[in-house]
């Protein structure tokens, strides 16, 4: 039996949605009352992170699940639930670090990352789950989006008819608020540019593309779109993201590199964490 290629499975699922015109990291459904906007583990109450967010959103779109709650087969059994016979789970990935002794210095050790995968099921695939008490989520909706943006101390100017980030002089430009159909679209656009802003050399030091259509440009736009989607979900914003013109270039990148979506989602998660001031540990456990 050949080894399971979870990178390829996740990538293929996302490519399928992109080719149909659906962007799986744009909030795809009305969240069930009381649930987090993020895919969340029903057993631990923790939100999934990185590439697992679009992967689970993608599965939710494909299967028509109304719930954002997931859990493993074992976790379902632990609370008295039963995954229905014939149900197919969704793969997720996570990174663990093993400490190994340094070959040259026995008093030192170093951490070696390795990727593992698990399989989770939506709660709509599970019978006999007990009633869920209110669980505090990792990412709570904030009341004032402006305060989040202000806290970053990013330089933002308004004028003209284009939204963009300029690495030099490290500034975001936005059209005036009155140019947008509603506040959600204004903030979604600003959070896209704010994700670009996190990539400067003095912050997260990501590689920017030099022109529209080249691979580095497409990858950075992929990071910015997912970063904006994560931040919109964090803030409870329903805004239109800027994806349409990039679909073809994203599909090209994903088809050429099965790890691209995982790398982009990881970079987007770091960008969102940077903006929200979230601190993340070296070891990333599956939720």
Give the CA diameter of the chain: 64
pLDDT tens digits, the chain, 287 residues: what are they?
556 777 788 788 888 888 887 777 665 444 566 667 788 998 888 889 888 988 998 898 888 888 889 999 999 999 899 999 999 999 998 777 677 777 777 677 777 777 788 899 999 999 999 876 544 444 444 456 888 888 899 999 998 888 999 988 999 999 888 778 778 888 888 999 999 999 999 999 987 655 555 788 888 888 998 888 888 888 877 766 656 567 778 888 888 888 888 888 899 999 999 998 854 333 344 44
Residue 17 near residue 58 (C-beta atoms within 8 A): yes
Domain that holds residue 36: 6-276
pLDDT at residue 179, as a whole number: 79
Tokens for 201? 């050399």
According to the model, what pLDDT value does residue 137 have?
A: 42
End-to-end, the C-alpha distance of the chain in Å comes to 28
41 to 44, 48, 160, 191, 257: CA distances (angstroms): 6, 7, 43, 26, 28
**Residue environment code for 244-282, b if the CB has 16+ CB neighbours within 10 A, otherwise e:** eebeebbeebbeebbebbbebbbbbbbbbbbbbeeeeee
| Residue 108 located in a structural domain | yes
Assigned domain for 287 exists:
no
Look at the block and give the residue holding tokens 């209110």: 134
pLDDT computed for residue 72 by the predictor: 93
Comparing C-alpha atoms, which of 129, 128, 140, 40 is closest to residue 92?
40
Distance CA 228, CA 188 (A): 6
What is the total count of domains within the chain? 1
User: What pLDDT is stored for residue 28 in this prediction?
Assistant: 46
> Residue 125 has what pLDDT?
96
State the residue for tokens 């909030």: 27
CB atoms within 10 A of CB 193: 21
Give the pLDDT score at 285: 40
Q: Is 119 helix (H, G, I), strand (E, B) or coil?
A: strand
**pTM beyond 0.75:** no
The pLDDT value recorded for residue 190 is 92
Neighbours of 205 (CB within 10 A): 9
Q: What is the pLDDT of residue 242?
A: 58
Q: Does some domain include residue 284?
A: no
Are 51 and 79 contacting, i.e. CB atoms less than 8 angstroms apart? no
Note the Cα 222 to chain centre separation in Å.
Answer: 11
DSSP E strands in 108-182: the ranges are: 109-122, 126-127, 156-158, 164-166, 171-174
Determine, yes or no, domain membership for 285. no
Q: What is the pLDDT of residue 241?
A: 63
- 207: closest CA among 164, 215, 244, 273? 215
Question: Which segments within 45-122 are labelled E, that is strand?
Answer: 69-72, 82-83, 90-101, 109-122
pLDDT value of position 140:
43
Q: What DSSP character marks residue 29?
A: S
Is 282 part of a structural domain of the chain? no
CA distances from 12 to 59, 107, 152, 158, 215 (A): 12, 44, 36, 39, 19
Give a yes or no: residue 92 inside a domain: yes
C-alpha span between 262 and 94 (Å, rounded): 10
Identify whether 286 is part of a domain. Answer: no
Say if 283 falls within a structural domain: no
């Amino acid at each position: 039996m050949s080894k399971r290629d979870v990178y390829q499975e996740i990538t293929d699922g996302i490519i399928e949605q992109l080719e149909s015109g659906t962007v799986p990291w744009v909030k795809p459904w009305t969240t069930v009352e009381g649930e987090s906007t993020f895919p969340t583990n029903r057993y631990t109450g923790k939100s999934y992170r990185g590439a697992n967010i679009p992967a689970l959103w993608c599965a939710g779109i494909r299967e028509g699940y109304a719930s954002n709650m997931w859990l493993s087969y074992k976790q379902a059994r632990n609370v008295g639930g039963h995954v229905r016979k014939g149900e197919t789970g969704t793969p997720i990935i996570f990174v663990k670090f093993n400490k190994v002794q340094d070959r040259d210095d026995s008093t030192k050790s170093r951490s070696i990352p390795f990727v593992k995968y698990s399989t989770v099921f939506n709660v709509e695939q599970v019978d006999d789950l007990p009633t869920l008490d209110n669980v505090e989520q990792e990412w709570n909706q904030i009341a004032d989006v402006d305060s989040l943006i202000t806290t970053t101390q990013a330089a933002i100017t308004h004028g003209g008819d284009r939204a963009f980030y300029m690495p030099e002089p490290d500034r975001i430009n936005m059209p005036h608020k009155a140019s947008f159909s509603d506040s959600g679209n204004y903030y979604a656009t600003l959070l896209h540019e704010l994700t670009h802003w996190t990539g400067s050399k003095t912050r997260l030091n990501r590689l920017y593309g030099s022109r529209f259509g080249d691979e580095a440009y497409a990858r950075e736009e992929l990071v910015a779109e997912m970063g904006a989607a994560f931040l919109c979900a964090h803030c409870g914003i329903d805004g239109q993201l800027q994806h349409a013109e990039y679909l073809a270039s994203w599909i090209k990148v994903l088809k050429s590199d099965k790890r691209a979506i995982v790398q982009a989602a990881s970079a987007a998660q770091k960008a969102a964490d940077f903006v929200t001031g979230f601190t993340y540990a070296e070891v990333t456990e599956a939720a």
